[in-house]
């Protein structure tokens, strides 16, 4: 049985289309990364699953029912934004407040130990640091022993240590059986955590696959070189993206071999040539760039390979 | 289903689930804790009416020693306590929740909306009760105010009924403006309604024109309604018509403002 399903879901706010004709299944046991620039529709998709909003058309199902029905949300866990925590309540009270909604909940002390909050239970949440608030917010998602967990930007604003601590906790929860959806615009985070990546852009799903396969299928590479005539590079085919880094031109290309042949053949002056495979970040930028070039109609991965 | 999931509850058998009543108590409890963590926010509501009775009514023996006038003074300040409590808790809670994302988060938890509405009414009601008790105690000890237990009970019911327009006015203000503006507007509305409604000075001292205006205010209507419940006597038609009209108008206004707010917030 799948835990949640979007079936041809569209959500409009007035004239603005936030989500356009999205079909998506969330199966048990996976750790899904949802990736996309701000305003791509990630938060809208999550709020539809949380029952906060109704789709304009199409159907959203959670545990086989309507997420707007409170009973369907018994096995759903999600995080508040860190600015949301009620400042005057103590950490223990915030955990008990949220935990009180679930019949079978994780004891406060156990949850606090898991997320490194032991020493903070008596502190008012308004006095916590940014990283402590983040840990508390993520811990709240797990207090009801959920089967589906939605983490919206869980590590935004954390330093490297804080981020890794939180990732470890999320991985342990996932191994204990929770299905986890993580949204992020940190590609490193998705690369580190997720097995499956759903790339959202312009309100549609533009890619949905494993991290490795997205990288392989997109097949983008990065080419760095120096040249005295950078304007002539523009005529070369297959450049998805072009930036300058110091004296270097940094080009994201679909087919590095073909590009280098063209470059040599064109007679353009160049030196310090370096070629390497793309990171998820470059793949993502290439995907969203091409999707927007193709209009809102989406992007067929097969064409790119 | 994999073995890793076996330990977790299935959607069909989600273990014991808190009842609506338990969830109402849960929300009311933490709403009250939050309120009392900033004591200055409640101290005005809890202490001011009793202090007003102590300083302005008790020393005037002509009023304090007259059972009818003293009882009316106690009732006026009880109405004031209930009104300021309803305006402040509804108005400020709603204005604050619109600016803080905690409320949308609570809506993602498995509690039906009715539990959250009941909790708001319950916590407001308990605070209102806490504000009236000192007024009744001061009135009973230091003035000639008198009423049978049954009449006091009737008065409490009447107070609860007449509090509805104030809750709705608070709701409308909460949805109409940002938090900081809401604080100022609620104070102006509260003192305006208290003076014109005869809660601080009895309406018998009013000039005719002021008395006429007064009869259109929900505070004056609430005062007369509770006085009739406690002291008996005929209920004039404008009292109950006024309460019904204010309730209907403010309910409509609150609904319009609520919808407009959703539209703007979610654009």
Give SS3 for B199.
coil
Pick from B104, B105, B123 the residue to mutate for testing the A interface (most A CBs within 10 Å).
B105
Cβ contact A56:A15 at 8 Å: no
Same-domain status, A21 and A158: yes
Beta bridge partners of A277: A221
Helix (H, G, I), strand (E, B) or coil at A3: coil
For A223-253, give the DSSP string.
EEEE-S-GGGGGGSTTEEEEEEETTEEEEEE
Please state, in angstroms and rounded to a whole number, the distance separating the CA atoms of residues B170 and B189: 10
CA distances from B37 to A60, A89, A90, B73 (A): 40, 8, 10, 31
Of the candidates A14, A124, A176, the beta carbon closest to that of B267 is on A14
Q: B3 CA to chain A: closest CA distance, Å?
A: 8
Contacts of A122-125 with CB under 8 Å at 24 or more apart are A122/A90, A122/A91, A122/A92, A123/A90, A123/A91, A124/A87, A124/A88, A124/A89, A124/A90, A124/A91, A124/B37, A125/A85, A125/A86, A125/A87, A125/A89, A125/A90, A125/A91, A125/A94
- The chain A residue lying nearest B32, using CA atoms, is A89
CA distance B255 to chain A (A): 18
CA–chain centroid gap for B133, Å, is 15
Looking at this predicted complex, what is its ipTM? Answer: 0.77
Confidence of residue A301 (pLDDT cuts 50, 70, 90): very low
A186 and A276: one domain? Answer: no
Contact flag B15-A103 (C-beta cutoff 8 Å): yes
Token reading at B41: 């926010």
Q: In chain B, what residues touch A91 (CB-CB under 8 Å)?
A: none
User: Whose CA is closest to A39, among A247, A183, A246, A211?
Assistant: A183
Residue in chain B closest to A53 (alpha carbons) equals B266
Q: What are A193-239's pLDDT values in tens digits?
A: 888 989 888 888 888 888 778 777 666 778 888 888 888 888 887 78
The Cα of A95 is separated from the nearest Cα of chain B by a number of Å equal to 11
- Reading the block at residue B210, the tokens are 């002021």
pLDDT for A283 beyond 60:
yes
Q: Which residue of A has its CA nearest to B12?
A: A63
The residue of B12, B14, B103 whose CB has the most chain A CBs within 10 angstroms, and thus the best one to mutate to test that interface, is: B14
Tell me: do A119 and A233 sit in the same domain: no
Q: Kindly list the residues from chain A whose CB atom is less than 8 angstroms away from the CB atom of residue B18.
A: 100-103
A7 pLDDT band, cuts 50/70/90, is: very high
- Residues B184, A300: Cα–Cα separation, whole Å: 57
Cα A141 from Cα B12, distance rounded (Å): 20
Residues of chain B in contact with residue A31, where contact means CB-CB under 8 angstroms, are: none
**Is the pTM above the cut of 0.80?**
no
> Using the beta-carbon criterion (under 8 Å), do A78 and B108 form an inter-chain contact?
yes
- Pick the closest to residue B228 from B168, B155, B174 (CA basis): B155
Do residue A69 and residue A161 come from a single domain? Answer: yes
Residues A152 and A243 in one domain: no
The chain A residue lying nearest B99, using CA atoms, is: A84
Our CA dihedral for A181, A186, A191, A194, rounded to 10 degrees, sits at 0
Q: Is A103's CB within 8 Å of B14's CB?
A: yes
Nearest chain A CA: its distance from B33 CA (Å): 8
Q: Half-sphere exposure of A173 toward its Cβ, with a 13 Å CA cutoff?
A: 33
Residue A121 and residue A206 share a domain:
no
- Which of these ranges, A169-178, A250-259, B213-222, B235-244, has the smallest mean pLDDT? A250-259
The total domain count for chain A is 3
Query: pLDDT tens digit string along A126-155?
Result: 999 888 898 999 999 999 999 999 998 888
pLDDT number for residue A302: 35
Answer yes or no: do A103 and B17 touch at CB < 8 A: yes
| Domain final residue, candidates A91, A107, A138 | A138
In angstroms, the separation between the Cα of residue A69 and the nearest Cα of chain B is: 8
In CATH, what number is assigned to the domain containing residue A47? 3.40.50.300
Between chains, do B2 and A177 touch, taking CB under 8 Å as contact? yes
Q: Domains of chain B: which residue ranges? A: 18-265
Quick one: angle between helices B20-37 and B113-142, nearest 10? Answer: 60
> Within 13 Å and on the Cβ side, how many CA atoms surround B186?
32
pLDDT for A36-76, tens place per residue? Answer: 877 778 888 999 999 888 899 999 999 989 998 888 899 99
Q: What pLDDT was estimated at residue A290?
A: 66
* CA–CA separation, A199 and A302 (whole Å): 15
CATH number of the domain to which A281 belongs: 3.30.70
Q: Are residues A49 and A87 in the same domain?
A: no
Q: Choose the mutation target among B4, B11, B103, B266 for the interface with A, i.e. most A CBs under 10 Å.
A: B11
Provide φ and ψ at A294, rounded to 5°. -85, 5
* Short-list B243, B205, B245, CA closest to B222: B243
pLDDT at site A296: 41
Give the residue on B whose Cα is nearest the Cα of A99: B109
Query: Are A223 and A295 in a shared domain?
Result: yes
Considering only the beta carbons, identify the residue of A29, A75, A98 that sits closest to B11.
A75
Determine, for residues A80 and B33 on separate chains, whether the beta-carbon distance falls below 8 Å.
no
Half-sphere exposure of B28 (CA within 13 A, CB side): 19
A93/B33 CB distance under 8 A: yes
- Give the pLDDT score at B246: 95
Q: Pick from A88, A161, A98: which is nearest to A127 by CA?
A: A88
The residue out of A91, A110, A138 marking a domain boundary is A138
Nearest Cα of chain B lies from the Cα of A40 at a distance, in angstroms, of 14
Taking Cα atoms as reference points, which of B187, B201, B251, B193 lies closest to residue B222? B193
Contact criterion met (CB < 8 Å) for B4 and A71:
no
Verify that A233 and A129 share a domain, yes or no: no
Given A99, A119, A138, the domain boundary residue is A138
**Cβ B33–A14 below 8 Å, yes or no?**
no
CB-nearest to B101 from A64, A83, A177 is A83
Query: Percent of chain A having pLDDT more than 90?
Result: 32
Of B4, B16, B104, the CB nearest to A52: B104
Q: Which domain holds residue A152?
A: 1-75+146-210
Name the residue in chain A with its Cα closest to that of B104.
Answer: A52
Chain B residue closest to A93 (CA)? B30
Can you give the pLDDT at residue B217? 95
Task: For residue A74, give the chain B residue with the closest CA.
Answer: B110
- Whether residues B102 and A176 touch (CB distance < 8 A) is answered with no
Residues A24, A118 within the same domain: no
| Cβ proximity of B171 and B164 under 8 Å | no
Same domain, A17 and A153: yes
Closest approach of B177 to chain A, Cα-based (Å): 20
Judged on CB neighbours under 10 Å (0-12, 13-18, 19+), A193 is: buried
Asked if A29 lies within 8 A of B2 by C-beta distance, the reply is: yes
Q: Looking up tokens 């009924």, which residue turns up?
A: B161
Give the model's pLDDT for residue B10.
Answer: 45
Per-residue pLDDT of chain B (267 residues; tens, 9 = 90+): 333 343 444 444 445 678 899 999 999 999 999 888 887 777 877 888 999 899 988 998 888 899 999 999 999 999 999 999 999 888 988 888 888 888 889 888 998 878 888 888 889 888 888 889 999 999 989 999 888 889 999 999 999 999 999 999 999 999 898 889 999 999 999 999 999 999 988 898 899 999 999 999 999 999 999 999 999 889 999 999 999 999 999 999 988 887 777 544 543
pLDDT for B262 equals 59
A54 with A163, same domain: the answer is yes
Nearest to B170 by CA among B216, B134, B124: B124
**How many interchain CB pairs under 8 A, A with B?**
113
């Amino acid at each position: 049985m799948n835990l949640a399903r979007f079936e041809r879901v569209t959500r409009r706010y007035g004239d603005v289309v936030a989500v356009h004709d999205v079909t998506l299944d969330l199966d048990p046991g996976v750790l899904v990364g949802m990736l996309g620039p701000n305003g791509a529709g990630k938060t809208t998709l999550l709020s539809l699953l949380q029952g906060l909003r109704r789709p304009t058309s199409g159907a959203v199902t959670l545990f086989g029912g309507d997420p707007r029905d409170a009973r369907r949300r018994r096995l759903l866990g999600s995080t508040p934004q860190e600015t949301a925590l009620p400042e005057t309540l103590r950490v223990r009270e915030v955990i008990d407040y949220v935990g009180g909604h679930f019949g079978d909940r994780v004891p406060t002390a156990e949850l606090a130990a898991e997320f490194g909050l032991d020493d903070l239970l008596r502190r008012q949440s308004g006095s916590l640091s940014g990283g402590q608030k983040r840990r508390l917010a993520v811990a709240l998602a797990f207090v009801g022993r959920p089967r589906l967990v939605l983490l919206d930007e869980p590590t935004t604003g954390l330093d490297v240590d804080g981020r890794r601590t939180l990732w470890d906790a999320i991985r342990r929860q996932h191994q204990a059986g929770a299905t986890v959806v993580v949204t992020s615009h940190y590609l490193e985070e998705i690369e580190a955590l997720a097995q499956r990546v759903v790339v959202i852009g312009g309100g549609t799903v533009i890619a949905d696959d494993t991290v490795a396969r997205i990288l392989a299928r997109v097949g983008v590479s990065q080419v760095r070189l120096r040249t005295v005539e950078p304007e002539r590079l523009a005529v070369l085919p297959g450049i998805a993206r072009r930036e300058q880094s110091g004296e270097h031109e940094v080009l994201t290309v679909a087919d590095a071999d073909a590009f280098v042949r063209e470059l040599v053949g064109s007679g353009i002056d160049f030196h310090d040539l370096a070629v390497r495979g793309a990171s998820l970040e470059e793949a993502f930028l290439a995907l969203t760039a091409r999707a927007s070039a193709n209009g809102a109609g989406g992007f067929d991965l097969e064409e790119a390979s | 289903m994999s073995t890793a999931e076996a330990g977790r509850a299935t959607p069909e058998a989600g273990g014991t689930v808190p009842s609506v009543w338990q969830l109402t108590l849960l929300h009311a409890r933490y709403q009250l804790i939050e309120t009392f963590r900033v004591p200055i926010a409640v101290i005005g509501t809890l202490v001011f009416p009793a202090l007003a009775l102590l300083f302005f009514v008790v020393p005037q023996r002509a009023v304090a020693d007259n059972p009818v006038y003293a009882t009316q003074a106690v009732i006026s300040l009880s109405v004031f306590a209930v009104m300021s409590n309803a305006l402040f808790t509804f108005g400020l809670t709603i204005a604050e929740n619109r600016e803080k994302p905690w409320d949308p988060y609570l809506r993602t938890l498995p509690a039906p909306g009715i539990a959250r509405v009941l909790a708001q009414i319950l916590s407001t009601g308990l605070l209102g009760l806490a504000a009236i008790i000192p007024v009744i105690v001061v009135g009973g000890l230091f003035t000639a105010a008198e009423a049978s237990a049954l009449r006091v009970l009737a008065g409490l019911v009447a107070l609860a009924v007449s509090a509805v327009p104030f809750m709705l006015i608070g709701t409308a203000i909460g949805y109409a403006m940002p938090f900081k503006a809401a604080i100022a507007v609620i104070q102006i509305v509260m003192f305006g309604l208290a003076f014109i409604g005869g809660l601080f000075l009895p309406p018998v001292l009013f000039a005719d024109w002021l008395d006429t205006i007064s009869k259109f205010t929900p505070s004056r209507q609430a005062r007369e309604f509770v006085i009739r419940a406690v002291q008996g006597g005929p209920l004039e038609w404008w009292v109950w018509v006024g309460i019904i009209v204010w309730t209907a108008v403010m309910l409509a206004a609150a609904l319009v403002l609520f919808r407009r707010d959703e539209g703007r917030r979610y654009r």
